[in-house]
Amino acid sequence: MNQWLKNVRLETGEIVHPNNRIETTTNLFHIEISPEGSILSIVDCSEEITSEHVTDMNGQLALPAFKEMHNHLDKTYLSLPWKACKPVQNLKERLDYEAQELVELSETIEQRACAMIEKILANGVNHIRTHINVDPYIGLKNLEGVVRALKKYEDYVTADIIAFPQHGLMRDNVPDLLRQALENGATMLGGLDPGGIDGDVENSLRLTMQIASEYNVDVDIHLHDGGYLGYYTIDKWLDLMEENAFKSRTDFSHSFGLGDVSVAEQKAIVKRLQKHDVHIMSTVPFNLGRVIPPIDLLTEHGVKVHFGCDGFYDSWSPYGSGDILGKVNSFADVTRKIDERGLRNSLGYITNHVTPLNNQGQQQWPNVGDEASFVFVPSSCSAEAVARLPKQRTVMNKGKFFQPLVVTC
Ligand SMILES: [Zn+2]
């Protein structure tokens, strides 16, 4: 049976006041949804709805469901007794400590992943891109647990599951482990600092391209390597994309190197990123004191940027709430998006760039035929939601309201 959502607030346009202040306009609508989860009709709230299957949204604002585009479901301590991080001197020590913990933590993988999925979904998400360790210590154990956990939530969330060589690609039997991961539930291939971790940019990238091509999967590479090492790595990968006809099939996570070079060099590589449709995944870590990629410049030049919360409450950091809207809020705050358009456009970083209004303030979402996936918030418009971070969120994925499963795993 079709269902109706009554009294849903949708953005309809904008008013530019004589003093140049911009105001988003909204109205209330009723939305009809098919049993398959797509929008069948959107009608004015003055129309009478006679259906038995009606939910009154009481004037809450509908936003497109959020996308969490950089996460580690296997690393969290959520659902275990409290534990702060062990102090270390450098990245190598951090990785060594993680390796020591991996076997013990892998025993609780499914339970911890479920706890993290619930937290992320409750914040408004219906798609998670997660990087799962595939390494010589635990092989595919974390992957198998995460696949089981995601299966439990398949009504509410889709996922990109990335086979991630956290402890290096060019060592032990890792290339074969990654191949096995891609045969057992991983949907994408990851990578990690071909210079800083593998110490061999060209061969590490070539091996990554070889495995991705063998399995016909897209790639998302963690690139923390800064300065010209990071810049060179991206440039080299773009060469490989050209040689292998790999357009639109790569994203780079973090990409600090893009922030460390001159604006002229940024503009040069941005052209290549745009040409090959490479997207940048950022966790907007202003708190790390690093120069992050030039998100505004990338956006202005047509390179898509997406946000993620990264791993949280794990051996790397005791912090993090899993609130992806909070990431937009801190990005907008730090980069001084203080007017209506700047705020509401920022929402696109967590909605795969679908926003209710376009740049000119005209309505473009939702439309009949779209997936009925929403976040409902008690805000007057998306600019207010970004700036004021409503705590209350109700999530619907393809016509189904998210209900916590009160973790049984
Ligand atoms: Zn990461």
pLDDT (tens digit per residue) in 24-74: 999 999 999 999 999 999 999 999 999 999 999 999 999 999 999 999 999
CA of 122 to the centre of ligand 1 (A): 21
Nearest to 162 by CA among 108, 214, 117, 212: 212
CA of 92 to the centre of ligand 1 (A): 16
Where does CATH 2.30.40.10 sit in the chain?
3-65+356-401
pLDDT at 297: 97
CA of 281 to the centre of ligand 1 (A): 10
CA of 133 to the centre of ligand 1 (A): 10
Does CATH number 3.20.20.140 belong to domain 66-334?
Answer: yes
Beta partners for 31? 5, 42
CA of 145 to the centre of ligand 1 (A): 18
Residue 380 in tokens: 């007057």
Where does CATH 3.20.20.140 sit in the chain?
66-334
Mean local confidence (pLDDT), 83-99: 89
Mean local confidence (pLDDT), 80-86: 94
How many angstroms separate the Cα of 97 from the Cα of each of 86, 90, 92, 140?
A: 8, 11, 9, 19
Q: Are 288 and 311 in contact (CB under 8 A)?
A: no
CA of 128 to the centre of ligand 1 (A): 13
CA of 224 to the centre of ligand 1 (A): 9
* CATH topology (fold) of 3-65+356-401: Urease, subunit C; domain 1 (2.30.40)
pLDDT tens per residue, range 304-357: 999 999 999 999 899 999 999 999 999 999 999 999 999 999 999 999 999 999
CA of 71 to the centre of ligand 1 (A): 6
CA of 362 to the centre of ligand 1 (A): 36
CA of 169 to the centre of ligand 1 (A): 15
CA of 166 to the centre of ligand 1 (A): 9
CA of 123 to the centre of ligand 1 (A): 19
Cα–Cα distance, 12 to 26 (Å, whole number): 5
What SS3 class is residue 389? coil
Residue that the structure tokens 């060019």 belong to: 170
pLDDT tens per residue, range 168-214: 999 999 999 999 999 999 999 999 999 999 999 999 999 999 999 99
Q: Are 24 and 340 in contact (CB under 8 A)?
A: yes
3-state helix, strand, coil in the chain (%, to 5): 35, 25, 40
pLDDT tens per residue, range 344-370: 999 999 999 999 999 999 999 999 999
CA of 340 to the centre of ligand 1 (A): 31
Cα–Cα distance, 176 to 214 (Å, whole number): 12
CA of 284 to the centre of ligand 1 (A): 12
CA of 228 to the centre of ligand 1 (A): 21
CA of 136 to the centre of ligand 1 (A): 19
Sign of the alpha-carbon dihedral angle for 309, 314, 317, 323: positive
CA of 75 to the centre of ligand 1 (A): 10
| pLDDT over threshold 50, residue 18 | yes
For the chain, the straight-line distance linking the first and the last C-alpha, in angstroms and rounded, comes to 31
% the chain with pLDDT above 70? 99
Neighbouring CB atoms inside 10 A of 59's CB total 15
CA of 355 to the centre of ligand 1 (A): 26
Beta partners for 128? 68, 159
Q: Does residue 366 have a cis peptide bond before it, meaning omega lies within 30 degrees of 0?
A: yes
How many angstroms separate the Cα of 96 from the Cα of each of 86, 111, 223?
A: 11, 24, 19
DSSP string, 163-206: EE-TT-SSSTTHHHHHHHHHHTT--EEEEE-TTTTTS-HHHHHH
CA of 311 to the centre of ligand 1 (A): 6
Confidence bin at 409 (pLDDT 50/70/90): very low
CA of 72 to the centre of ligand 1 (A): 6
CA of 29 to the centre of ligand 1 (A): 40
CA of 252 to the centre of ligand 1 (A): 11
Residue that the structure tokens 């990409």 belong to: 255
CA of 3 to the centre of ligand 1 (A): 39
Mean local confidence (pLDDT), 245-267: 95
Q: Are 194 and 205 in contact (CB under 8 A)?
A: yes
CA of 132 to the centre of ligand 1 (A): 9
List the helix and strand counts (H, then E) for the chain: 11, 16
CA of 137 to the centre of ligand 1 (A): 18
Confidence bin at 408 (pLDDT 50/70/90): very low
CA of 23 to the centre of ligand 1 (A): 37
